[in-house]
Amino acid sequence: MFKIKTDTYYLSFVDKLKLSNIFLDYSGRIGTGEMRRVGMKTEDFDFSIDLYVKIANSKNPNIFKHKVRQFRKHFKSISYGYNIWW
């Protein structure tokens, strides 16, 4: 585990991700467990990280909304989870 310094730059980065349809909490959790659960593989994470860097360096993060939606639509089914019977 690592600690993220939540300075002005980091908070700005989180806001840019939100504008691009990527939701991240202010503690730095991106939801890798959830990403794996919907079937993302290592190469998908590589694509995601490249996208995060582009968004962080962008003056207009809204332009990435379509790309995020296109990427995410390939992962609609749950790959694993718990079967809970009441």
pLDDT, one tens digit per residue, over 14-47 is: 888 888 888 766 566 666 777 777 788 888 888 8
pLDDT, one tens digit per residue, over 63-80 is: 999 988 898 888 877 776
The C-alpha angle 77, 79, 80, rounded to 5 degrees, equals 130
Residue 70 contacts by C-beta under 8 Å, 6 or more apart in sequence? none
3-state helix, strand, coil in the chain (%, to 5): 50, 0, 50
Specify the pLDDT at position 60.
Answer: 92
Other C-beta atoms closer than 10 Å to the C-beta of 22 total: 21
Predicted TM-score of the model (pTM): 0.63
Among residues 30, 34, 33, the alpha carbon closest in space to that of 51 is found at 30
The encoded tokens of residue 60 equal 């207009």
